[in-house]
Copies of this chain bind each other. A is one copy, B any other.
Amino acid sequence: MVRQTQQSLCKRLAELDGGSFRQDPWERAGGGGGLTCVMQDSTVFEKAGVNTAVVWGQMPRSAARHMGGGQRLRSGEGELAFYAAGVSVVIHPRNPFAPTAHCNYRYFEIGGADDDVEAWWFGGGADLTPSYLFEEDARHFHSVHKKICDRHDETYYWRFKKWCDEYFYLPHRKETRGVGGIFFDDLHQKPVEELLAFAGDCAAGFSEAYLPLVERRHQTAFAEGHRRWQQLRRGRYVEFNLLHDRGTAFGLNSDGRVESILMSLPLAARWEYDAQPPPGSEEARLLAVLRQPRDWVEEG
């Protein structure tokens, strides 16, 4: 599933851009490996990364307990076998009117083969981070995800939409990172095949949710001031990823492949002292939504 998502998404991104992905396969000393695909400083995309990893090995029970579904592990000490597979995508377009987007879907299993498995779960989600707010873009991104969620469980979308707004939050800025999407973790309450089908549908649906927005915006004319605001917003993206993102922290603390982990950071970002957009501006309109998350689709 993760390889298939990677392959088809890279193909569509490359077609839209006209450029091509650099492909870096890597191996993990403790078991497994991955494939990092990056397109950088290209026509449509300033930085686009599509990562897959399928890894296994041993980890301390204490460390495993701090992970998504780890609270269900038996007590005790020692090492535990784990298996993890995931796909992770971060796309920063060049045009300030084309939004950044991220998605990540992962499966985690702890406790050795077959009958010894102590816990397994799915986690992931997809979220949209515009520098300029187009309400129809946010509505499209959310309604594609709602349609996918609803096919699997009618409670999913609203629970995961709320979870996304809560997770992608910068307390010191009192802002969400973007206009949200879906986020879930420790999903294990249905048979594994059903949840794999759900995660697979979400991953496959990312193109439909996101690519039309890039197609619609990437040739919009923009001025220096729009670019500056985009760079400031990318500074916020860096703040979230380095200060709060659990995947980034886990990767860096577990001696993961640094270049693949930090591929999520934008090509360029900016921090100005006390930059406040003028009241009533387009920039202020975005901030208002980040400070007070909205619903983008109708109930039901």
Contact = CB atoms under 8 A, between A and B. Distances in A.
Contacts of A242: 238-239, 242-243
Contacts of A271: 47, 262, 265-269
A231 interface: yes
A159 interface: no
Contacts of A274: 24, 38, 259
Nearest to A235: B265
Interface in A252-276: 252, 255, 258-259, 261-263, 265-274
A49 interface: yes
Task: State the oligomeric state as a number of copies.
Answer: 2
Interface residues of A, number: 33
Interface string A11-36: 00000000000101000000000000
Interface in A220-239: 231, 235, 238-239
A273 B47 CA distance: 9
A243 B252 CA distance: 10
Nearest to A264: B271
Nearest to A268: B270
A22 to B, nearest CB: 8
A273 B238 contact: no
Q: Among A172, A268, A273, A274, which residue has the most Cβ atoms of chain B within 10 A?
A: A273
A285 interface: no
B40 A272 contact: yes
A246 interface: no
A230 to B, nearest CB: 12
Given A173-B258, A231-B268, A268-B269, 9 more contacts: A38-B273, A41-B272, A172-B261, A238-B269, A242-B242, A243-B243, A262-B271, A265-B271, A269-B270
5 contacts: A47-B271, A172-B255, A243-B252, A259-B273, A267-B271
